[in-house]
Amino acid sequence: MAAKKNIYVNGLDELPLPLRKIEIVERKGIGHPDSVADALSEEVSKALCKLYVKEIGHVLHHNTDETQIAAGSSAPRFGGGTVIDPSFILLVGRATTHVGEGKDLKSLPCKPTALEAARKYLRKTFPNLNSDSGVILDAKIGMGSDDLTGVYKASGHRANDTSFGVGYAPYSITDRVVLETEEFINGPLKKKLPETGQDVKVMASRVGKKINLTVACAMVDRHIDDEAAYKSSIEQLHNAVMDNALKIVGQEDVSVHLDVNTADDYKKKVYYLTVTGMSQEMGDDGSVGRGNRCNGLITPYRPMSMEATSGKNPITHIGKLYNVMSKLIADEVAEKVVSEAEVHVRILSQIGKPVSEPLNAAIEIRHPGIEKDPNFKKWKTEAESVAEGWLDNIDKVTNLIINGKVRTF
């Protein structure tokens, strides 16, 4: 155990998940309402960080992790439909809205900053959404509670909650196929198939060496003239995603089967057709923390935290810091220490204690016979060193978050 840091490294005599029979992995794409809520919360937090640094010189207490999206209604049709009732987005959270007292009181434009950041993200990310008429955007961001603001102000940046973060590494081939499939559809494929919307959900079931991949992709009606064009677009989407999946798999000894928009029923004229490429336009609400974990995935066969990462302040909020840091530690241990194993990291805080001194930082290295491996003692020491290095450099994690260099969803 590393002194003060309470770091524990254990070896578990278990098969890493990629070598087991069953694996399930999911990703909600950037246009899914839960992901939109995550993204807006994080954009607001980053904007507030920049506001505080500009006005005060350092980041102040805030948590903007309660964004809610209420679906609207729409009338999609081939050739172009209309949004009937805009979706409603409410930016909710706590922030430091003023500093000082009396004559020295300084009020800070937190709500305007939040609204501007949210609209900027919507305009940049969703080209088929009219961010002025297609959504109603509001903000309810008030002053934070005295106790948590006080914890934040305490010297040494102290944890504002008794909570934990979780991470694992490396990604399995199933993880990669899911993550990179969504990134492909919402990236390079858009030039070839602009009719594909941003609301993309990818689910993979691996049984043995066979990956069954299911993709649900909202299609944009104004780019599709009729049913024949819709069918053609789905076929092109299927072929492009399949080709990309095979490139991801490469020489791995697994096969891939792909299904796209399985709820479509051509006989009943049922299509996944939307006006904006986003299901929040009709019938699908969204909330922060209900979607991807900070590694970009939902992984029921891996350890996960229920904490929402997006929108929490990147200085003292353990639900953000320790989730991000756990993944960074796991990545480095897997890369530099023992690449053939599965690494799990869990870090627990105590409210009011320095964030650099967790109550428990546990690293599990999972591989058959690992504790009997002559290299285990060396791996254990190296893993402790990796964890201690990150805990001693909390500011590095904070800067990665503020500058958008790590995922939060």
Q: Tens digit of pLDDT for each residue in 130-156?
A: 999 999 999 999 987 555 555 555 445
Domains of the chain are 7-18+161-172+290-402 (3.30.300.280), 33-153 (3.30.300.10), 174-286 (3.30.300.340)
Average pLDDT, the chain: 94
Give Cα separations from 81 to 73, 85, 221, 223 (angstroms).
Answer: 11, 13, 7, 11
Please tell me the pTM assigned to this model: 0.94
pLDDT, tens digit, 9 for 90 and up, residues 282-334: 989 999 999 999 999 999 999 999 999 999 999 999 999 999 999 999 999 99
Largest CA-CA distance found in the chain, in angstroms, rounded = 72
Q: Report the distance separating Cα 296 and Cα 46, nearest Å.
A: 18
The rounded distance, in Å, linking the Cα atoms of 121 and 295 is: 21
pLDDT for the residue numbered 283: 86
What's the rounded mean pLDDT across residues 37-52? 97
Polymer length of the chain = 409
By C-alpha distance, which of 270, 291, 67, 118 is closest to 200? Answer: 291
Percent of the chain with pLDDT over 70: 96
CA-to-CA separations, 34 to 17, 56, 121, 278, in angstroms, rounded = 27, 32, 15, 11
Q: To the nearest whole percent, how much of the chain has pLDDT over 90?
A: 91
Most confident of 126-130, 338-342, 371-375: 126-130
Instruction: Report whether the peptide linkage leading into residue 170 is cis, meaning its omega lies within 30 degrees of zero.
Output: yes
